[in-house]
Amino acid sequence: MFQEKVDEKHMTHVNPVQRSPWRTLALFVRDVLVIFAIAIVVSFVVKTFLVRSFFIPSASMEQTLVIDDRVIVNELVPAMVPIQRGDIVVFRDPGGWLPATVPAPVNPITAATEWTLSLFGLASPDSNDHLIKRVIGLPGDKVACCDANGKMTINGVPINEPYIMLPSGETKSSGIDFSVTVPEGSLWVMGDNRYNSKDSRYNTNQPGAGFVPVSDVVGRAFVISWPMSRWSWLGNYPDTFAGVPAAGQ
């Protein structure tokens, strides 16, 4: 067998293609823009169909939620997951619950920044246009307060509400007495800070008579995400409502 000898003097060395620094930078910028665009699209889809962030502007849900808490809302409720008694829901103003306001002018840069941050859940520019309360009555429920012991009743059954905050020395679950039957497709909602919440009880003179259409519900708040010291899951207290029969039973 003959072994070929390679004459190194006559070998041709091919150098790898050398990219200019500008071309390398352009490719890097392109990749960053593509990743950023994908992130925006994913965040937009998540915000539109899955979860969304809101901040708490008032004391109506104390001590469960305090002013400037930020909550994450599951937008699959109620479209795919039914609302339950005890859920904390975010909803659009049914009409007349919030005072009329004139939108303050916002310069384009600030508006664009807030819009971008909202895609990633870092800003909630529309929180002041929404309300957050706890669901007490479902469609068909008869909700009344208060019985001889100061308790709320649902379909005739009194409930113990460990989540509510009452003034010192007060034992009644509501400062005003009421008895309502929730219409089909609507909810009866109340704040946990029971004597400092302009909820269904205080809006019976509005077009919706104090009831919140299920179609106005944006979703169910399920976690406090900010500040970190307040991080916690938000429950709907199933034990509180376990003994309540379905409407009509």
User: pLDDT tens for residues 13-52?
Assistant: 545 556 677 877 777 777 777 776 666 665 555 555 578 8
Going by their DSSP bridges, the two strands 130-137 and 232-233 should be labelled as unpaired
In a domain, 7, yes or no: no
Closest CA to 74 of 225, 219, 235, 236: 219
Please give the residue range of the domain that contains residue 194: 52-100+123-241
Q: Does this model's pTM top 0.95?
A: no
In a domain, 208, yes or no: yes
In a domain, 200, yes or no: yes
Give the SS3 label for residue 119.
helix
In a domain, 109, yes or no: no
pLDDT category at 6 given cuts 50, 70, 90 is very low
In a domain, 143, yes or no: yes
Say if CB 63 and CB 101 are below 8 A apart.
no
Token pair, residue 122, equals: 């870092």
Catalytic residues: 60, 133
What CATH number is attached to the domain comprising 168? 2.10.109.10
In a domain, 236, yes or no: yes
Residue 222's CB is within 10 A of a number of other CB atoms, namely 18
In which element (H, E) is residue 105 found? none
What is the distance between the alpha carbons of residues 231 and 225, in angstroms, rounded to a whole number? 5
Q: What is the mean pLDDT of residues 89-117?
A: 74
In a domain, 116, yes or no: no
Q: Could you give the residue ranges of the DSSP H alpha helices within 50-182?
A: 108-119
Q: What is the mean pLDDT of residues 164-170?
A: 96
Q: Say how many domains are in the chain.
A: 1
In a domain, 34, yes or no: no
What is the distance between the alpha carbons of residues 123 and 114, in angstroms, rounded to a whole number? 6
